[in-house]
Structure 1
């Protein structure tokens, strides 16, 4: 898919009204796909100097997607974690643009790799990440032994 040239990606407060609108849309979509909204896996208060919450909109201001970055584990971790990645349906190219933005931010924050977890049943997400170079990694935290989850990572 061609790159979107009308996208604006901003770092915003994850507790902002606009961020919450996108997070709510993501939670509703995840609930339909796998029966779990994923809300318990993301704390809007968890912003650190080595992370952020990113919001994508088009030139007209329409909200198109979001993603978050945080350290995986300790604040000085060499691995960043991608959280709450979402692109509105039919918002072509937004997911790829957000992912590229988060990867660039992760490099700037000194991460050597980016990891994420998604549900095995979310085959569209698993295929999207595979297309962008993500491969299975060893599970961490609450994902250890969770057969419904797949942990993926990419060296930056």
Structure 2
């Protein structure tokens, strides 16, 4: 059983998982992803950091949303340690539901084209490719996705 809970991005469990994510991203893409995310970016009212835990209470995944515009939230730092199936889906479902309840109508995200697992995961979950936005404009290695949050 996987549970998802709101957490502090500065907690030891959060730090542990984000370091694992950064190391994995560096291996896959050559970039840790740290330059486009800091825990301070989670300080806003409409930002949310969550952890997934297994039945033993161990942190096994993380993810975040933060505002891009009044209606659009950005999905950040999604990570599953893949210790059990369904971690990514549990995180994504929680974050999408939370974003909708916070008044967002759409989620955007960026990943790298070479991160085939992530690209497949987001496409499988209804995300469609959009033009690169913000810091990803003009970066051929980046791919951006969007999903409307529907009723």
Please state which band the TM-score falls in when normalised by the shorter chain: over 0.9
2:119 counterpart of 1:123 = no
TM-score (norm 2): 0.95
Aligned equivalent of 2:7, options 3, 12, 16: 12
Correspondence 1:135-154 to 2 at 5 A? 135-154=128-147
Deviations 1:2-40 (A, max 9, x none): xxxx11211111011110000001001101101110011
Taking the aligned partners of 2:86 and 2:55, their CA distance within structure 1 comes to 14
Could you state the TM-score of these two structures normalised by the residue count of structure 1? Answer: 0.92
* Contact 1:136/1:153, CA 8 A, preserved across alignment: yes
- RMSD between superposed Cα atoms in Å: 0.9
Question: CA–CA distance in 2 between the matches of 1:46 and 1:28?
Answer: 20
**Is the 2:3–2:90 Cα contact (8 Å) retained in structure 1?**
no
Show the counterpart of 2:100: 107
Q: Which runs of 4+ in 1 moved over 4 A?
A: none
Unaligned runs of 5+ in 1: 1-5
Hey, what's the Cα distance between the residues in 1 that align with 2:4 and 2:117? 23
1:138 Cα deviation (Å)?
A: 2.1
Gaps of 5+ in 2: none
Q: Which residue of 1 aligns with 2:19?
A: 24
Q: Give the equivalent residue in structure 1 for 2:53.
A: 57
User: In the alignment, what sits opposite 1:132?
Assistant: 125
3-state SS of paired residue (1:21): helix
Question: For 1:9, what is the secondary structure of its paired residue?
Answer: strand
* Corresponding residue number in structure 2 for 1:81: 74
* Paired position in structure 2 for 1:70: 66
* Contact 1:116/1:152 (8 A) holds in 2: yes
